[in-house]
Amino acid sequence: MKSKLLYGVVGVGHLGNFHVQQIQKNSRIELGGVFDTNTKQSKTIAKKYNTHSFKTNVELYKACDAVSIVTPAPFHYQEAMLGLSHGCHLFIEKPFTTLLEDAEEIIALANKKDLLIQIGHIERFNPVFKKFEGRQNNPLFIESQRLSPFNVRGSDIDVILDLMIHDIDLVLHLVQHNVSDVRAAGVSVLSSSYDLVNARLGFDNGSVANLTASRLSTSPLRKMRIFEKNQYYSLNFQKLKIKHYVTQNKKTSEKTVFNHNSKYVIYKELLAEPINALYEELDSFILSIYENIPIKVSKEVGRDVLKIALQIKNKIDEQKKQN
């Protein structure tokens, strides 16, 4: 392997710009260049980061060893297949694809060519989640809220693939059991797809997750509550804060918020150190290439998350037809 991988970015709009920025900070690799169908934008980003603007995506794939695909989601499939056909390891922003069969084709080609793919579920690298997942967890009930003001930039896909997919990934990662039941409701308000969705996931071990995603909020909110036996955690992904409530049979010097029948609910607050989650996930991907270590958010995980997201959408579609 080369001493330094040549890394490219396909799609350098709002998010792609940040990919280029963080890749340039990584000393393990060399920024090989960028491509965007908007030639003016591609040249602007290339000039900003002192790199090359490729005339075609094919030229970039031929030149680079690894590539971030940061195009709109409907183009992930064609870009991934092209990148793999030219021997590139791929970081594909979420959602993996918009169709399950496309994800399966990408996985098959990557396996055939022995190339790595990481899916950009960035909340896995949120310092709050990283701090929480290091504990012994056995979730019985999970409740998530992911609310955002409307932005035209993400309206090419529904709110399930745009926002809720983050929490589907986290829930599947925490519960580690098969989803046995999916219930959902959703509405379209400003776009032609669902802008507000609530979903209930039942697992074969009895765990339940209730997820709400909206892009119709006046202010952003990214929270998750995880209930276990005798304790629960409240994770605030924006404020990097974990609130921990635990039931004990005796009073201690710690802060007590409730007590009844000789039981005490103790409150603790944990803070996570700020990190750049995008840098961390890209660095994780690059380390996997160099050191042959497992991908943190694999293509198979991305496919499984997509499968549940599409099941949620299908449930809502079925209800619309019945009504």
- Top pLDDT among 270 and 192 is at 270
- pTM check: above 0.85: yes
Whether 288 is in a domain gets the answer no
Give the largest CA-CA distance in the chain: 72
The residue segments making up the domain with residue 84 are 5-115
Does residue 60 contact residue 270 with C-beta atoms inside 8 Å?
Answer: no
Residue 262 and residue 138 in one domain? yes
Which residue type is seen at 109? L
On whether the CB atoms of residues 140 and 202 are closer than 8 A, the answer is: no
**Given this model, what pLDDT does residue 165 score?**
98
- Let me know whether 140 and 214 are in one domain: yes
Q: Is the pLDDT of residue 251 over 80?
A: no
Residue 301 within a domain: no
Q: What is the pLDDT of residue 190?
A: 87
Check which CATH number belongs to the domain holding 195 and give it.
Answer: 3.30.360.10
Q: Please determine, for residue 120, whether its predicted confidence score (pLDDT) is greater than 70.
A: yes
Q: Is the pLDDT of residue 225 over 90?
A: yes
| pLDDT > 90: percent of the chain | 82
Q: Are residues 19 and 140 in the same domain?
A: no
Instruction: Give 133-151 pLDDT, tens digit per residue.
Output: 877 678 999 999 999 988 8
- Residue 2 confidence (pLDDT): 64
User: Residue 116 is inside which H or E element, if any?
Assistant: none
Q: How confident is the model at residue 259 (pLDDT cuts 50, 70, 90)?
A: confident
**Average confidence (pLDDT) over 80-104:** 98
Model confidence band, residue 322 (pLDDT cutoffs 50, 70, 90): confident
**pLDDT confidence of residue 129:** 96
Return the ∠ at Cα 71 (arms to 39 and 318), rounded to 5°. Answer: 140
Give Cα separations from 250 to 62, 85, 266 (angstroms): 66, 63, 10
Given 92, 115, 138, the domain boundary residue is 115
The confidence band for 203, taking pLDDT boundaries of 50, 70 and 90, is very high
Give the chain's mean pLDDT: 94
List Cβ neighbours of 17 (8 Å cut-off, separation of 6 or more): 45
**Within this chain, do residues 142 and 87 fall inside the same structural domain, yes or no?**
no
Quote the pLDDT of residue 319. 84
User: Can you tell me the distance from the alpha carbon of 94 to that of 277, in angstroms, rounded to the nearest whole number?
Assistant: 14
Q: Are residues 155 and 233 in the same domain?
A: yes
CATH number of the domain to which 64 belongs = 3.40.50.720
What's the number of domains the chain is made of?
A: 2
User: Is residue 280, in this structure, part of any structural domain at all?
Assistant: no
- Tell me, yes or no, whether 233 and 263 share the same domain: yes
Q: Which helix (H) or strand (E) holds 191?
A: none
Q: Is 317 helix (H, G, I), strand (E, B) or coil?
A: helix
Q: Select the more confidently predicted residue: 191 or 128.
A: 128
What whole-number distance in Å separates Cα of residue 75 and Cα of residue 252? 56
What pLDDT score does 209 carry?
98
CB 181 within 8 A of CB 228: no
Same-domain status, 67 and 85: yes
Residue 16, in any domain of the structure: yes
Q: What is the pLDDT of residues 260-270, one digit of tens each?
A: 677 888 889 99
Residue 48 sits in the same domain as residue 160: no
Which residue, of 82, 115, 148, is where some domain finishes? 115
Beta strands in 249-309 (DSSP E): 256-260, 263-271
Q: What pLDDT, on the 0 to 100 scale, is given for residue 253?
A: 65
* 94 and 153 assigned to the same domain: no
Q: Of the ranges 18-22, 26-30, 176-180, 188-192, which one carries the lowest mean pLDDT score? A: 188-192
Q: Find the mean pLDDT for residues 154-181.
A: 94
* Unique residue bearing structure tokens 């591609």: 42
Let me know whether 224 and 94 are in one domain: no
**Per the domain annotation, does 108 fall within a domain?**
yes
Which of residues 94, 115, 136 is at a domain's end?
115
Question: Could you tell me if residue 209 is inside a domain?
Answer: yes
As to burial, measured by CB atoms within 10 angstroms (0-12 exposed, 13-18 middle, 19+ buried), residue 64 is: buried
Look at residue 248 in the predicted model and tell me its pLDDT: 82
Rounded Cα–Cα distance for residues 7 and 223 (Å)? 34
Based on the domain organization, do 129 and 228 belong to the same domain? yes
Query: Does 87 have pLDDT greater than 80?
Result: yes
| Whether residue 61 is found in the same domain as residue 171 | no
Average pLDDT (296-301) is 98
